[in-house]
Structure 1
Amino acid sequence: MKTKYLSLGLITAFIVLSSCIVLKQNEKPTLFLIGDSTVKNGKGKGDGSLWGWGSFIGELFDTNKINVENNALGGTSSRTFQTNGLWEPVLAKIKKGDFVMMQFGHNDSSPLDDTARARGTIKGIGTESKEIFNPIKKKQEVVYTYGWYLRKFINDVKAKGATPIVCSSIPRNPVKDGKVVLANDSYAKWAEEVAKAEHVDFIPLNQLIKDNYGAASADLVKTYFTEKDHTHTNEAGAKLNASLVVAGLKTLKNSRLNKYLK
């Protein structure tokens, strides 16, 4: 009989302890990351030596005080992350006091209605729209500007009592003919303009990375990218980019997210 009561007592204690741990997890704020493959490539485990910066940024936060959840998905644009049903489950988890960091742009320049992905957005940040036939979904779809989709993310996050943070997309490999050739990025400019208009925090990640590349040799910059394409970073490049996200975050003097950094 004593053994029976002892077992019941241990089970009860375990349930209570587990509940406390779950409750404590839920009480912590969460930093949600959304974006494309330069934030999370594949399953975020470095398959093919391809890494996104979101796989390493959690190491720079005190995860005893904040959860970091990387929900980015390769191949997505600001449009398809929403229209393909990826945003809704993330939005459902967001609670008051959370943070959402977004980085899109690489895939937004794709065609609006090609048979491969149909993921592009209208260039700019205005209110323009265009009705197209989506050959992937085989139905009509109204497509908006890059800025329209960013504003949708921002307003959804604000409505949940959470804090949106916009990052400009990382630059592609700038090494050409043995030299670092840095180019302007329209999507980086548009991301900044949207963030400013919506009065939300902005991290000029594109410029921060270019500043770093500009001060380095072409041989060093090459070591940050895979040899498979001119877009995706390897582990070293992704870790550098994660550190520069944090460097940009530290310049935001009124950001509550800063207090969770290590």
Structure 2
Amino acid sequence: MKTKFFAFFAATSLIVLSGFSFIQKQTTLYIIGDSTAANKQPEAYPETGWGMELQSFFNGDVKVENRALNGRSTKSFRAENHWQPILENLKAGDYVLIEFGHNDEKIDKPTVGVSLTDFKMNLVNYVNETRSKKGIPVLLTPISRRSFKNGILKDTHGAYPAITRQVADSLKVPLIDMLAKTEQLLNNLGDEGSVKLFLHVDAGNVNYPNGKKDDTHLNLDGAKQIAAVVAKGIKENQLSIAKSLK
């Protein structure tokens, strides 16, 4: 009887320890950024942030925590205390995807917009603080707006993406150049073809009775395609979580 008991106890302990080991192995992937990545409320549908779709590209070894928020910049995300809780909970080996630029460029809004110098310093601080907790920062340039003029896609982000690239290079941070990748995607689709990725809604929609034409924010299909671009960038950078991609 004792032999059976100890055998049962050993087997049960092994199962518990295995479960504990699985929990310990799970890597959290945080996303910090703006509305192009952020979670959306049901009343905003079909607007969808790409961060909402990223989890579907990973197996259970990676948990995506999408903390991106509408309207935020490198400055306001910290000032409104959205960064500190992430930093406090960051574990060794966790990842932080850092994608800003859409709102930092709005220097006419002092609580949000920042100069290029401050943008650089803010990115450096996010990187260094992530590393101080043995986390792994990944810098992303902002995604392209659908800004075609006479059939030619124009960049609307000024020098901000270049600053992100500079910081990635100087601090040896993995970079996913979302601007370059999404510009290529939009150019391949063309002016009219790229409409299908963005929040273009006809009048009569339950959430947009008057319709809407938004060339900055994504719809569900657009979010899926941009999340796929992020997943591809993770693989190209040979990040450790790439092995957890489906």
TM superposition score normalised by structure 2:
0.82
How many corresponding residue pairs? 220
1:33 match? 31
Pair 1:21–1:204, CA change in 2 (3 A)? same
Whether 1:248 and 2:246 are equivalent positions in the alignment is no
Whether 1:72 and 2:68 are equivalent positions in the alignment is yes
Report sequence identity in percent.
28
Whether 1:84 and 2:80 are equivalent positions in the alignment is yes
Whole-angstrom distance in 2 between the partners of 1:112 and 1:218: 29
* Counterpart pick for 2:114 among 121, 136, 149: 121
Cα deviation code 1:158-216 (max 9, x no counterpart): 00011100011101112345x24232632221111111111110001110011111122
Please give the secondary structure, in 1, of the residue aligned with 2:85.
helix
Cα deviation code 1:133-158 (max 9, x no counterpart): xxxxxxxxxxxx11111111101110
* Unaligned 5+ runs, structure 1: 1-12, 127-144
Whole-angstrom distance in 2 between the partners of 1:197 and 1:162: 18
RMSD: 2.3
Pair 1:158–1:106, CA change in 2 (3 A)? same
More helix by share: 2
| Partner AA of 2:194 in structure 1 | V
Q: How does 1:214-229 map to 2 (within 5 A)?
A: 214-227=187-200, 228=212, 229=214
| Partner AA of 1:189 in structure 2 | A
Q: How does 1:1-262 map to 2 (within 5 A)?
A: 24-43=22-41, 47-63=44-60, 65-111=61-107, 114=110, 118-122=111-115, 124=116, 126=117, 145-176=118-149, 179-183=151-155, 185=157, 186-227=159-200, 228=212, 229-253=214-238, 255-262=239-246
Contact 1:224 1:233 in 2 (8 A): yes
Whole-angstrom distance in 2 between the partners of 1:120 and 1:217: 31
Please give the secondary structure, in 2, of the residue aligned with 1:37.
coil
Contact 2:35 2:49 in 1 (8 A): yes
Compute the displacement of 1:111 (Å).
3.0
Pair 1:175–1:46, CA change in 2 (3 A)? farther
Whole-angstrom distance in 2 between the partners of 1:113 and 1:170: 21
TM superposition score normalised by structure 1:
0.77
* Unaligned 5+ runs, structure 2: 1-11, 201-211
| Partner AA of 2:183 in structure 1 | K
Cα deviation code 1:94-146 (max 9, x no counterpart): 100111111000000123655xxx21111x2x4xxxxxxxxxxxxxxxxxx11
Whole-angstrom distance in 2 between the partners of 1:205 and 1:46: 27
